[in-house]
Amino acid sequence: MADLKTPAQATAPAQATTTYRESVAEGIAREMRRDSTVVCLGEDIGAAEGVFKTTVGLFKEFGPERIWDTPISEQAIIGAAMGAAMTGLRPVAEIMFSDFLACCWDYLANEIPKVRYMTGGQVTVPLVIRTANGGGLGFGAQHSQAVENWALTIPGLKVVAPSTPSDVVGLMASAIRSDDPVVFFEHKGLFASKGPAAPPDHVIPLGQAAVIRPGTDVTLVALASTVPVALSAAQALAGEGISVEVVDLRCLVPLDMATVLASVARTSKLAIVEENPYQGGWGGTVASIVADEGFETLDAPVRRLAAACVPLPFADRLEDEVIPSVRTVTDAVRKLSAY
Amino acid sequence: MATTTEVDLLDLYEQMSVIRGTEKAAQDLFLAGLVKGTTHLAAGHEAVAVGASAALRPDDYVFATYRGHHHAMARGAAPAACLAELMSRATGLCKAKGGSMHLTSAEHNMLGSYAIVGSHLPMAAGAAWSAKLRGSSQIAVAFFGDGATNIGAFHEALNLAAVWRLPVVFICENNLYMEYTPIGSVTAVEHPAADRAPAYQLPAEVIDGNDVLVVRDAVVRAAQRARDGEGPTIIEAMTYRHFGHSRTDPAKYRPADEVEQWLARDPLLVAKQRLAADGIAADRIAEVDARAAKTVADAVAAAKAAPEADPAEAFTDVWADGGAQWRT
Ligand SMILES: Cc1ncc(C[n+]2csc(CCOP(=O)(O)OP(=O)(O)O)c2C)c(N)n1
Ligand SMILES: [Mg+2]
């Protein structure tokens, strides 16, 4: 785990790189240092430092009083996190694979997002549910799904899905400081990716999308793993004279439609790149808002590039078939630009 | 010494009378069409809530089920606010956003009534975990039905609470039925909560849940264990519903002699008998009865006089900032 930055390191130029994986632990550690009510719980997160090594160093630094290994009891993990959040702690609960959210779905669907509302605002639930989401690692149908759309269907949950190491740290800070419940999707396919390390005190407010590549012909809206896909497609298309603007949503709730609508107003064409399945995917919500509120600015149909509506297959060649790739995105945007 | 017991029991008796009266009023208001949706009345279960509450500190946490009116009131929620909630009034305990199944009084550390069977047991464990980490010496209590012992969250919560030695008390209100099904016909053990305790190496007691002093004493012991760092206790309180499961269920599935036996052990009667045995004069009990009846009548009147919920309230309280905005 990264140590507390010395002042010298802190002022060093941002070329220091780190991994997305290390940034998860770094983001949590920074908040644990500033707020003693932040505690972590999950399976194998302590001495074992996480099956994805996303909690490396936490147990060593914060000890068993703040880093709790749990039994394989997803309902107890999330239910206990909820009870603790209602009574003065800021728990950060890990669900190892996002597929397993189904095992404690009651808490995400019925308990955590509703308790404040149905008690007339009497209780507050400041918790974070972190989970490794998505495909690309060949884990098969029960360990590879992109399920961010599950969380999006529920009013009362904030939904975060960062794409870069420094965004992981900045959004983790906001998620843990939030007095609302946050589901924090860490993408498995991005864990090994590298990028500039987050500067000290890096905080990215929830609900602020980023225009990460400006362009004039087509807007590509992406999230987490589809951000590098969209950037590669934009890069390839630039060589063909097609200028693509890439928007990294970063959060599904709050959903920064102002940034998306403003981008579409500039480019007049929109494609959405999602890893979750087309059926019920988050792009449907984005597209419907653009159709409703940005119709006059559009010069072409909105395109959605999402996963095929099948369970995620195991073999790489099959998985690649199902999830949008640089090739499929490039082809679609080329056609859209010529529309 | 006699005086303390006498005053205590009279006080507990009065609390139970108020709850009984409020539950009856809730039923009447439901039948009159003034309470919509459903109710799960706790008439018959009063001794569990009042006895347990008498054993707790005001800062201890309580989690209950959709059958939770008695727990809200035993912890201190006003009957008028409870009835107003059932009647969709602006003055309702939860601003009319919860209803009968979700009565909550956070100011009394009654942290909710949950209508997904068993879901709140892990929450109570979590509140106990929080108390332990904060070193507050608070404890948490989860009240649940016999039916809840067959759901996974019950077992996950017991195991977690046991391995983490959490200051939590699990209190099962065994009223012999889960909805319309006799609990014995769908459960592998005789005592659905207590018989599962050995699997988690937890102590358990099966108690008379209709005797308020028996309940209080059992919870005093369990709370002490919890505060002493000895971990969770399971209490299975045998009790019985006086109404059906919900709404207008006439509970025809219950044998007449069983109903008769249990009505003879009405927690209010049991308390009255104890008061009489302690030498409390009948007119003092009648005085308490009259005061309880007035409390209930005043609560009904206040709830009826309260304004309907403001439609604008539908769009508050989703987020901690008070609002409901999910996008820009
Ligand atoms: C998970 C879940 N399954 C089913 C129901 C429907 N249901 C509501 S109450 C109930 C019976 C529960 O019985 P018990 O736990 O004994 O509590 P009691 O109603 O007797 O107080 C059922 C099946 C539910 N609310 N939640
Ligand atoms: Mg029952």
How far is it, in rounded angstroms, from Cα B211 to Cα B84? 30
Q: How far is the CA of B178 from the centre of ligand 1 (A)?
A: 6
Asked whether B219 and B235 are in contact (CB, 8 A), the reply is yes
Q: Is A43 a catalytic residue?
A: no
Task: List, in sequence order, every residue forming a beta bridge with B141; answer none if it has no partner.
Answer: B62, B169
- The distance between the two most distant Cα atoms of chain B, rounded to a whole number of Å, is 69
**CA torsion angle for A148, A154, A157, A160 (degrees, to 10)?**
20
Q: How far is the CA of A164 from the centre of ligand 2 (A)?
A: 51
> Do the Cβ atoms of A83 and B126 come within 8 Å?
yes
Residue ranges per domain, chain A?
A: 17-196, 210-337
Task: Give the pLDDT mean for B40-65.
Answer: 98
Best CA proximity match to A226, nearest among A272, A191, A258, A257? A272
Is some CB atom of chain B closer than 8 A to the CB atom of A257?
Answer: yes
Which class does domain A210-337 fall in?
A: alpha beta
Any idea what the CATH number is for the domain that residue B190 is in? 3.40.50.970
Ligand 1 lined by B236 (C-beta under 6 Å): no
Which residues contact residue B230 at a Cβ distance below 8 angstroms, ignoring those fewer than 6 apart? B165
B157 touches chain A (CB under 8 A): yes
Residue B69, classed as helix, strand or coil, is: helix
Q: For residue B116, which atom of ligand 1 is closest to its CA?
A: 26
Please give the residue range of the domain that contains residue B174.
6-278+289-305
Q: Which of B95, B130, B160 sits opposite A73 (nearest CB)?
A: B160
The answer for A 39-58 residues in CB contact with B (under 8 A) is 39
Is position B325 within any domain?
no
Q: What is the DSSP string of B225-277?
A: HHHTT---EEEEEE---SS-SSTT---TTS-HHHHHHHHTT-HHHHHHHHHHH
Atom 13 of ligand 1: nearest residue by CA position? B178
Lowest mean pLDDT, pick from A136-140, B128-132, B239-243: A136-140
B117 lines ligand 1 (CB under 6 A): yes
Say which CATH superfamily domain A17-196 falls into: Thiamin diphosphate (ThDP)-binding fold, Pyr/PP domains (3.40.50.970)
What are the residue ranges of helices labelled H in chain B? 2-31, 46-54, 69-75, 79-86, 120-134, 152-163, 212-227, 256-263, 267-277, 282-305
Which atom of ligand 1 is found nearest the CA of B179?
11
Nearest CA to ligand 1 atom 5: B117
Tell me which residues of chain B, numbers 192 to 231, contact chain A at a CB-CB cutoff of 8 Å. Answer: none
Q: What is the mean pLDDT of residues B27-56?
A: 98
DSSP A109: I
**Contact criterion met (CB below 8 Å) for B294 and B14:** no
> Are the folds of A17-196 and A210-337 the same?
yes
> Cβ contact (<8 Å) for A83 and B124?
yes
**Residue B328 forms part of a structural domain:** no
Report the alpha-carbon distance of residue A67 to residue A61 in Å, rounded: 10
Convert the pLDDT of each residue in B179-224 to its tens digit.
Answer: 999 999 999 999 999 999 999 999 999 999 999 999 999 999 999 9
User: Residue of the nearest CA to atom 9 in ligand 1?
Assistant: B179
Chain A residue whose CA is closest to B104: A119
Residue B276 in contact with ligand 1 by CB distance below 6 A: no
Q: Tens of pLDDT along B157-184? A: 999 999 999 999 999 999 999 999 999 9
Q: Which helix (H) or strand (E) holds A94?
A: strand A90-97
pLDDT at A15 (0 to 100): 67
Q: What is the pLDDT of residue B3?
A: 56
Test site for ligand 1: of B23, B117, B143, B176, most ligand atoms within 8 A of the Cβ:
B117
What pLDDT shows up at residue B7? Answer: 74
pLDDT of amino acid A1: 33
Cα gap B85→B96, rounded to integer Å: 5
Whole-number Å distance, alpha carbon B148 to ligand 1 midpoint, is 7
Residue B156 to residue A80: CA distance in whole angstroms: 10
The ligand that comes nearest to the alpha carbon of residue B67 is 1
**In this structure, how many other beta carbons lie within 10 angstroms of the beta carbon of residue A30?**
23
B127 in ligand 1 pocket by Cβ < 6 Å?
A: no
A326: left (phi over 0), alpha (psi -120 to 50) or beta: alpha
pTM over 0.90: yes
The total number of structural domains in chain B stands at: 1
**Strands A182-187, A194-196: parallel, antiparallel or unpaired by DSSP?**
unpaired
Cβ of A257 within 8 Å of Cβ of B327? The answer is: yes
Structure tokens at A312: 């995620």
Residue ranges, chain A, pLDDT below 50: 1-12
> Ligand 1 atom closest to Cα of B175?
20
Instruction: List all residues 6 or more positions away from B201 whose beta carbon is below 8 Å from its beta carbon.
Output: B162
Q: What is the mean pLDDT of chain B?
A: 97
Known catalytic residue at A143:
yes
